[in-house]
Amino acid sequence: MIKLIALCFFIVLSLQAIEQPLFLGKEGKTYKPTEPDMYEVLKKKFQKFQEENNVTQILSQAIKKKAQINLGIQTCETDRIYNKKLLYIVPEDVVFQGAVIAKKGQVVNLLKKMPLQGLVIFSNYSTAEEKNTLMNIIIHYDTTLRIYLTKGNIMELKEDIEKYFPDRDNIISGKTPKTFLDKFNISCVPAVAYQKDYEMVISEIGIKNDE
């Protein structure tokens, strides 16, 4: 108890000392702080840490790895064309403002509700042959293109599109969601899909193997 009282008394005195400024006179010589700038100190430490641990290289490898995709889709060997309806079965009644606008079990043709503009392209992009094939497909179509990568590096694809087609702003590229393979019945690539009436027309492009 005595120690606690002494501690409280010490804290009170310390606070009073802080609240009461120390009078140093009317005039006095001032000095610039000699301590190094904290930002510069931390910056130099971080730079040293980067050099010793190859942080830039590690981050670059991590980004490259994240950009990679491989869904195991084989290359098409022959040409094939087929049609596919994009249907959605309503899982439960959809009510809007008290009215049922879609009943449970109702089958909805998505292309009637949301028409698809342009082309959808599924493609690998890992070998020179696959890259050349995709670039040739892009050259032949000036409409809106949605390119879904099934194998390769998406960052490399985006860079190549910017490099070889700098004036085109209607090319969208990204990784292929696995659900898209089932919806479009994609079993091999490259495959080009477009809407005709209320169905999708999927054209598989066969690539000859010279090996």
| Dist CA 177 CA 118 (whole Å) | 19
Instruction: Tell me if 182 is assigned to some domain.
Output: yes
Can you tell me which residue has the tokens 């919806």? 183
Determine the pLDDT at residue 3: 47
| Dist CA 147 CA 120 (whole Å) | 6
Instruction: Tell me if 173 is assigned to some domain.
Output: yes
Instruction: Tell me if 159 is assigned to some domain.
Output: yes
Instruction: Tell me if 23 is assigned to some domain.
Output: no
Give the pLDDT band (50/70/90) at residue 101.
confident
**The CATH number of the domain where 185 resides is what?**
3.40.30
**How crowded is residue 73: how many other Cβ atoms within 10 Å of its Cβ?**
19
Q: What is the DSSP string of 71-119?
A: --PEEP-S-EEEEE--EEE-SS-EEETTEEEE-TT-EEEHHHHSPPPSE
Instruction: Tell me if 31 is assigned to some domain.
Output: no
148-158 tens-digit pLDDT: 999 999 999 99
Instruction: Tell me if 5 is assigned to some domain.
Output: no
- Domain region containing 140: 70-93+114-204
Whether the predicted model's global pTM rises above the 0.75 cut = no
Q: Which residue has the higher pLDDT, 204 or 51?
A: 204
Instruction: Tell me if 192 is assigned to some domain.
Output: yes
Instruction: Tell me if 50 is assigned to some domain.
Output: no
In the chain, the number of structural domains is: 1
